[in-house]
Amino acid sequence: MMRRVRAAAWTVLSTLLLTVPAMAFQPPTGQEQFVPAKSLPQTEQMPAGPLLLTAYAFIWVAVAFYVWTIWRRLNKVEQEMRALAQKTSRR
Amino acid sequence: MRKLFVPVLIVVAAMLAYSPFMIAGADYESSMGIISKILYFHAPSGMVMLLSAMVCGIASAIYLWRKSPGADRLAIAAAELTALFGLIVIVTGPMWAKKAWGIWWDWEPRLTMSFVGWLISLSYLFVRKYAGPGSDKLGAALAVFGSVNVPFIYVSVNIWRTLHPKTTVVPTLPPGMRGPFWFSALTLFLLYLLLLNARLHLERQRTALDELYLAEEDRS
């Protein structure tokens, strides 16, 4: 009988000892309702500077890429013209 | 124009290098802050895009009417540049809109019509590349419709209620913003002329190559 009481007491005690820290590490309860806000704090607002720089850099990259494509296409055509001229002169 | 190409190239390169300093020193718009500085290259790019679409449309109409190969070459060159400057407008605009309006895009008249104008220029280029025989006339007709869209893009902000600023903004810019704006506009316009000239040269060389192939075929 005493052994059973002691076992029950140990079970209750160990359950309590494990439950308290387990409860302490539980995540906070889920949000029950959303609270609207008219403005964001300064730290959370999207910075305008990087957007401006990205926009400006995009123009440079787009124009540079386009110039490169013209140069590449022109080189190809002129190479073909030279090859054709050589072929003709050999005859 | 060939003699002017190198001097204009040097001037444009100097203006492009100086423009960030001029824009950095320009005034901010009071409600938008630093993001308002996108104005100095977004709006001029839009102006160049519309100009290029008009050049493409008029050259295409001349080609349809007179069958002038020179007009066709000009139309192709202008269509590519409409697509390039249109892309710049469509990419830089949403970056400004996100800060100013809180959204990247809105299907309001100015934005939608600009997007359609850009798609027409892309359609023209796809037709010219993949439609095969007769694509020159089909493309030219498409370009004429594209140029008809241009005045509507311009006045859309005055006719309909839109988020986009009205056409009165640019003529009424205060002195602290006017100088940098027109400097940027002139820079992009000269850049446009340079690129148009380079692209026309490519098209002329392609025509010369085609003629060489035809002559070669006749000989053999």
Give the number of other Cβ atoms within 10 Å of residue A73's Cβ. Answer: 15
Beta partners for B33? B29
Interface residue A81 vs chain B (CB under 8 A): yes
B100 contacts on A by Cβ (under 8 Å): none
Residue B40: closest C-alpha in chain A: A56
Interface of B with A in 124-163 (CB under 8 A): none
Q: Which residues of A touch B209 (CB under 8 A)?
A: 77, 80-81, 84
Contacts of A46 in chain B (CB under 8 A): 98-99
Q: Give the tens place of pLDDT for each residue, B169-184.
A: 888 888 888 999 999 9
Q: How confident is the model at residue B102, as a pLDDT? A: 86
Supply the pLDDT for residue B76.
96
Interface of B with A in 51-80 (CB under 8 A): 80
What residues form DSSP beta bridges with B29? B33
pLDDT the model gives residue A31: 57
Closest CA to B36 of A63, A43, A51: A51
Identity of the residue in A48, A87, A88 whose CB atom sits nearest the CB atom of B99: A48
Q: Is B144 helix (H, G, I), strand (E, B) or coil?
A: helix
Residue with tokens 């009205």: B166
**pLDDT, mean of residues B196-215:** 93
The B residues from 79 to 118 touching A (CB cutoff 8 Å) are 80, 84, 87-88, 91-92, 95-96, 98-99
pLDDT higher for B69 or A37?
Answer: B69
pLDDT at residue A48 is higher than 80: no
pLDDT at B57: 97
Over residues B97-155, the pLDDT tens digits come to 988 888 899 898 999 999 999 999 999 999 999 988 889 999 999 999 999 999 999 99
Q: How far is CA B185 from CA B39, B41, B85, B149, in A?
A: 10, 7, 13, 22
Contact B198 A62 (CB under 8 A): no
Q: Provide the pLDDT for residue B81.
A: 97
A54 contact residues in B (CB cutoff 8 A): 95
Q: Please indicate whether residue A27 or residue B45 has the higher confidence score (pLDDT).
A: B45
Average pLDDT, chain B: 92
A24 — pLDDT class (breaks 50, 70, 90) = low
Rounded mean pLDDT, A23-33: 61
Q: pLDDT (tens digit, 9 = 90+) per residue, B20-75? A: 888 888 888 888 888 888 999 999 999 999 999 999 999 999 999 999 999 999 99
pTM for the full predicted model: 0.81
What is the band of A65 on the pLDDT scale with cuts at 50, 70, 90?
very high
**Minimal Cα–Cα distance from A11 to chain B, Å?**
59
Residues of chain A in contact with residue B219, where contact means CB-CB under 8 angstroms, are 88
Give the distance from residue A36's alpha carbon to the nearest chain B alpha carbon, in angstroms.
16
> What integer best gives the mean pLDDT of chain A?
79
In chain B, pLDDT over 70 holds for what percent of residues?
Answer: 99
Q: Is the four-CA dihedral A12, A18, A21, A25 of positive or negative sign? A: negative
Contact B92, A58 (CB under 8 A): yes
